[in-house]
Amino acid sequence: MNWVELVGYVASGFVVLSFAMSSVVRIRSISLVGSVFYVAYGALIGSFPIILANATIVVFHCIALYKELGRKTELGATPIDPDAPFLTDFLHSHLDDIRKTQPEHETSSPDTAFVLMREGMPAGALLGTREGESLHVDLDYVLPAYRDSRLGTWLYSSRGSALRAHGIREVTATPTTEHQRSYLLHVGFEPRGEGLAKALA
């Protein structure tokens, strides 16, 4: 096997690897790298069809990633009754995934809930207990396909947070897993006492 064939194998490897991803962003990012390698491979073997097809795929992936990570994606947080059948069914269908990072959810009694929306479709849920202008987060769950998107950052944005529209000026949380703690720190929460908090100024 020469180095030209190696480029082709690397391209194939990235494309195959993309199918193992659950996140939309990761799928497109890894497939994008594979397509770039395929363009290089096509150039090395002098195959214009391979170059044309994969160059087009590169453009499509770049446009999709721009929409996914840019400001054009339509996001929303719709209030819902914590006991609403739709929310109950949604959480039950993803319970195994929720237990991996937020097992304490099943012992909480939230009085406030939001369905997180992306492009008009349910992408997650936020449940908590409210006290005045403060919301203690009991569950912040996003479907695996959208965990690399900007949904979490948008939700807790200091200035443009959707929660502010509902009179919430502060969010607190007491994560019990390192995964959830790392996520909350990433979206702007700061240590406070035994938990984390963020002001939505």
pTM above 0.75? no
pLDDT of residue 117: 87
pLDDT of residue 73: 59
pLDDT of residue 58: 94
Pick left, alpha or beta for residue 192 (phi over 0 → left; psi -120 to 50 → alpha; otherwise beta). beta
Positions in the chain whose pLDDT score sits under 70? 1, 22, 70-74, 148-149, 158-161
> What is the radius of gyration, based on Cα positions, of the chain?
21
Q: Is 195 exposed, middle or buried (0-12, 13-18, 19+ CB in 10 A)?
A: middle
pLDDT of residue 149: 60
pLDDT of residue 48: 92
pLDDT of residue 166: 86
pLDDT of residue 69: 73
pLDDT of residue 18: 86
- Where are the extended beta strands (E) located within 98-179? 112-118, 121-131, 134-142, 170-173
pLDDT tens digit sequence for 99-152: 988 888 888 889 999 999 887 889 899 999 999 999 999 999 999 878 766 777
pLDDT of residue 72: 56
